[in-house]
Amino acid sequence: MEQSVFTVLGNSLFGIAAFGMATLGFLWSSPGNPLPPGKMEGDWRLLDPITYENLTVYPVASTRGYDTTAFLTLEEGLSRGEVIVQEQGAEVMVRDRDGSRPVARDYGGPSVNQLVLINRSRQPVILLAGELVSGGKQDRIIAKDRIVAPGSEPLPLDVFCVEHGRWSAGAKFTSAPTIVHPSVREQAAVKQRQADVWASVTAGTTATRSAADPAPRVPQEELSMVMQSEAPTQSYARIYESRRVAPSVDAMVNEVQRRFQRATAGLKGERVVGVVIAYGGEVAWSDIFASAELFDQYWNKLLRSYAVEAVTRPALREVASREDAQEFLERLNGWEKTESERGVYRWREINAGSLSQIELDALQPKVVRLHRLMVRRTN
């Protein structure tokens, strides 16, 4: 994989300082060349907010959508057997250069923070930071957004463990219908430190809380009891699907989903491509996709992740303002770093103040921004 990682201040200096003319050509080909800070990047429109308890969802609608049918999600690929995830150290069989016979490749011994992914499908596979793969020696989550080309070499895949108390052989890796909640996803996607990921799994939320705030539906003490009785290995899935936690999450998911479907059913000439999320009066998160179809594929997992975060945050009943939500559709101006694989994808992170914006662009079959994440960092 060809990578470039750099940090500069300001979008205008970004290409000139770091790459020269060859890279400027690469930047010019990107969708929505960096706009002036504060300008909205797509023809997006915020719909009216959907609020339940301390969770507010602003649907993001668009009149325009890209064709994303060429791409395969990780969950689809694993369920079809076209994508395989396994521990390092397991025998990986690939075809030699002329395709005549399988040969074994050695990718080193098992590692907490690295797995091997094999894409046997004919489609590029989308990976989103925070997607959970269950099995192996420990459950893991994807470390960052990226795309894996079809027919590529087995990929050493960066991951984070979300099952602190187990390191033993388990079933083959499968895709859990889960994206971890924002506090955990933030640690993986932005801070990228294993210790912080572990801490956020057991803490519920990493957002600050004052003594005057109303208690969350699921306080820290409840999570501790779950880990003692139902999730001794501190497995993310076992904690948040436990009988002490899941009913609160399910109740929120069901009600928000009902209201969401009712609020978005009558759109004419527009479709929902993403959401902006607030807890209490604070806008905290957004996920926006290149098409309504791609958003629909992730929506149920995302909604559950937002609900998990909500039940572990203070039960504040304030509603975030539309103006604050609108800011999450605008481009940041700040420190940038990028990573790319020629002809496959480009990943960009922009940090400004307490906000981080992460973008994933596909470069084939044409340049499309597949996913855009904005997060208000909690620490």
Q: What is the pLDDT of residues 100-127, one digit of tens each?
A: 444 445 556 778 999 999 999 999 999 9
Residues 117 and 194 in one domain: yes
Position 213 in a domain: no
Above 90 in pLDDT, residue 20? no
Residues 103 and 158 in one domain: yes
Alpha-carbon 191 to chain mean position: 13
Q: Which position has the higher pLDDT, 371 or 106?
A: 371
Position 171 in a domain: yes
pTM of the complete model: 0.87
Residues 84 and 179 in one domain: yes
Residues 24 and 116 in one domain: no
Residues 275 and 368 in one domain: yes
Above 80 in pLDDT, residue 345? yes
DSSP lists the bridge partners of residue 285 as 277, 375
Average pLDDT over residues 220-245: 96
Residues 176 and 85 in one domain: yes
Residues 95 and 13 in one domain: no
Looking at 177, 208, 239, the residue that finishes a domain is 208
Above 80 in pLDDT, residue 94? no
Residues 121 and 21 in one domain: no
Position 219 in a domain: no
Q: What is the pLDDT of residues 60-87, one digit of tens each?
A: 999 988 999 999 999 999 999 999 999 9
Residues 126 and 45 in one domain: no
Average pLDDT over residues 44-60: 97
Q: What is the pLDDT at residue 40? A: 65
Residues 14 and 42 in one domain: yes
Position 361 in a domain: yes
Q: What is the pLDDT at residue 89? A: 76
Above 70 in pLDDT, residue 252? yes
Looking at 208, 226, 260, the residue that finishes a domain is 208
Position 342 in a domain: yes
- Banded pLDDT at 365 (limits 50, 70, 90): confident
Position 222 in a domain: no
Average pLDDT over residues 27-51: 65
Residues 363 and 325 in one domain: yes
Pairing of strands 55-62, 50-52: antiparallel
Q: Which domain holds residue 52?
A: 8-67+248-376
Q: What is the pLDDT at residue 268? A: 92
HEC letters along the chain: CCCCCCCEECHHHHHHHHCCHHHHHHHHCCCCCCCCCCCECCCEEECCCEEECCEEEEEEEECCCCCCCCCEEHHHHHHHCCEEEEECCCCEEEECCCCCCEEEECCCCCECCEEEEEECCCCCEEECCCEEEECCCCCEEECCCEEECCCCCCEEEEEEECECCCCCCCCCCEEEEEECCHHHHHHHHHHCCHHHHHHHHHHCCCCCCCCCCCCCCCCHHHHHHHHHHCCCCCEHHHHHCCCCCHHHHHHHHHHHHHHHHHHHCCCCCCEEEEEEEEECCEEEEEEEECCHHHHHHHHHHHHHHHHHHHHHCCCCCCCCCHHHHHHCCECCCCEEEEEEECCCEEEEEEEECCEEEEEEEECCCCCEEEEEEEEECCC
Q: What is the pLDDT at residue 92? A: 54
Above 60 in pLDDT, residue 14? no
Pairing of strands 72-73, 125-127: parallel
Q: What is the pLDDT at residue 76? A: 95
Position 263 in a domain: yes
Question: Total structural domains in the chain?
Answer: 2
Residues 78 and 197 in one domain: yes
Position 32 in a domain: yes
